[in-house]
A and B are shown apart, each in its own frame.
Chain A
Amino acid sequence: MNNEVQDIIAKDYEYGFTTNVATEIIDRGLTEEVVRLISSKKGEPDWLLDFRLKAFRHWRTLEQPTWGHLNMPDIDYQAISYYADPTASKKQGPQSLDEIDPELMRAFDKLGIPLEERLEKAGGMAVDAVMDSVSVKTTFRKTLAEKGIIFCSISEAVREHPDLVRKYLGSVVPYRDNFFAALNSAVFSDGSFVYIPKGVRCPMELSTYFRINARGTGQFERTLIVADDNAYVSYLEGCTAPMRDENQLHAAIVEIVVENHAEVKYSTVQNWYPGDKEGRGGVLNLVTKRGLLRGQHSKLSWTQVETGSAITWKYPSCVLQGEGSQAEFYSVAVTNNYQQADTGTKMIHLAPGTRSTIISKGISAGRSQNSYRGLVRMGPKAEGARNYSSCDSLLLGSKCGAHTFPYMDVQNPSAVVEHEATTSKISEDQLFYCQQRGISPEDAVGLIVNGYAKDVLNKLPFEFAAEAQKLLSVSLEGTVG
């Protein structure tokens, strides 16, 4: 009898290679000296060092949160190196493509990340490539600069646009926000900075590609996106890491500020190494992402496809401060083998006429645990505000778990909050129906899962959607017997 969808083998992780490149890694451990060292390596101004030190001192007073529905391994924060620079052999940092270590270029080629601008005609996507703690290369800068758009690594932005960075850094996610946010604020290394000036529609997708390479290091990326009045930008983020038998820490912060009538679309395809089939290794993805819809009628949408990481702890959130602002959260989270995900969003409505939509699709297979956790808060001034939430869970097999933790806090009687939730299983009959039509069980699962996640995948930019579809099928390969 085979009346149960079983897990047998999982497809090998495709991005698990390591790159041999001379990397400068500072000693393991986290002290005030380390924070100062990171800051001095980057030649930062005093105000930023001061910000880091305040964050570090605050972090030391905090305990790692335990409220997630996660079985978190103990993290020894003193056993991690907080800075790894694969471009260190070129002392000034690479000035042109020719100066980048060919090994690094090959690494990003292998990942399908176009670092050469001649690909403009083919794709037309600007990329910031970050390996370990350092931005390797940002493409299309000149084209963008003509429109006044700033797209560079955050380290560069600190040097070249200090006033902008100082104005917005920590304005959405203060270092006091939570344990991991304080840690990131103390030791953040690189990430992207985007500024779209008033009235400018960014002519191409901007994307940042994060790659952890070095052993025994953590990645603490920091991304800051500002869309000024009437501006528009679509931003993509992709992540991979080599296969390692140790857990690697990734504690990022993404802050987004959206001014009057501006719109930001932020899409993530997160495919960090998920650990092996027995649950050894994998990235601990502990991330704080938040957008402030500061302007009237501003718009922000988060779309995420989460297939990687051993543990995901991530709640891309929106603070709807501007009157009539609109926020969206679309999520597909897949867990297989021993992966754990506790992910969702917060929609904080502070102004009248604000609207938010939450569409969450969880898919669990193997022995994984997949939780949706979401907060919808209607503040006292959120007159006539509305939220619609729909959280679906799909189970493959009987050894995995799906959980939903919705929180609602409505302080304005005219606000409307709707919540729908479903849990379903891929039935043996559905699989068999596909098989009887000649479709293999593997392809059938891919077909059904992609159908289930369609509403979210449709929100991704076109080139990304195809990749995400493939990724969903691959992540679940071997889940049926």
Chain B
Amino acid sequence: MSRKRTEIPALAACCLFFLLPPMSAMAADVSLHGFVQGNYSLNTAEDNPDGKDFKWSEERAQLRLEAAADAFSLFIKGDAFHDNIDKHSIMELREGYADYTSEKWDARVGRQVITWGVGDLLFINDVFPKDFAAFFSGRPMEYLKKGTDGAKLGFYPGFANFEFIAIPYFEPNTYPDPNKFWMFDPMPGISNRETQDPYKDFHKAEAALRVYRDVAGYDASLYYYRGFSRQPSIMPDNPLVPTKLTYFYPELSEYGASVQGRALDGVLSLEAGYYDSRQDRHGIDPMIPNSQTRYLIGYQRQLWEDFTLGLQYYGEYMQDYSAYVQNLPSGFPQEKRLHQLTSIRLTQFMIHQTLRLSFFAFYGLSDRDYMLNPEVKYNITDSVWIALGGNIFGGDKPFNQFGQFAKNDNIYTQIRYEF
């Protein structure tokens, strides 16, 4: 999977280099930046399932190359790292794209990070690939977002703005590795497992559209997506006596909206989306998530100088709940019709904003489970910073969203020299 992922864009990037010789000839504006960093995350509750002490341990270097000439520009962000746990070194293309910009429209082709929606670590209309393993193991926040291999077309006719995304190759979310993370597994006895990828079929391309504009001082957006769930579902070969499990990505469409603006002496965010589970529209297939309505309310306010409070309330309402309950195999944990989650974020800057103390927490109202993430980040100089933090998980039940991670508490450090 990872090999395939690097091949195509790397090839595309090479092609771009050859397609754009006029750029170098026209004395393009070129810049090179990047960083070197160490990133280590140590278990504090228990060793990994494979017996190791670290959730993450690596040294990494990143180079960002930007070249621009006239209406064209090229951007390449590549990482090389040495993984101390698996004892190997890998290069990865984080982003690599070409831009064309004109007054009324623009295009971006290649691997790119796309972020939609107004949630803080809660994603409704951000249907683009994410790396939750990075998020839970104390890596810098930017590693939560994975690049999307595709094309973005933007149109700006004035009355509204349009962003159209076409994604020919599916990229799933990355979830924690069962060798590193203790997690709930509904069928632990079955080790014969395979993954079915939709991304080899070109006609299974994904499409997404965002339309946005200002509405009475609020930033308003409408969203549409047609593609696949990035979270795999499990299909057993035999529902009664399964011997083999196939992971697959069910068809999904999504329709949503968001608004964000100034209200109540702070910033108010509202977002909602309808998840149309196209392969299980009546909710009778227990292996495929039912259709859902998701929504969130967020509020952010500066309470005193350099201190900001952020609060969120999030809900997932399952459609066709009775069909779900009727068809759920015995022994499987039953989800609630309404899954509710809250979050809080506290951020205090100190010493001329070179020291940041932050605390982020999820608390599940439905499941009474939680994730806590305190962090201290200090910019030692203008080019060197260090962060120390922790991820603490817990909950009533071993199958809840965060409760299942209870044995994965970790403390982490990130130290980076940036140039």
Specify whether A and B are partners: no
Q: Which residues of B contact A (CB under 8 A)?
A: none
Q: Which residues of A contact B (CB under 8 A)?
A: none
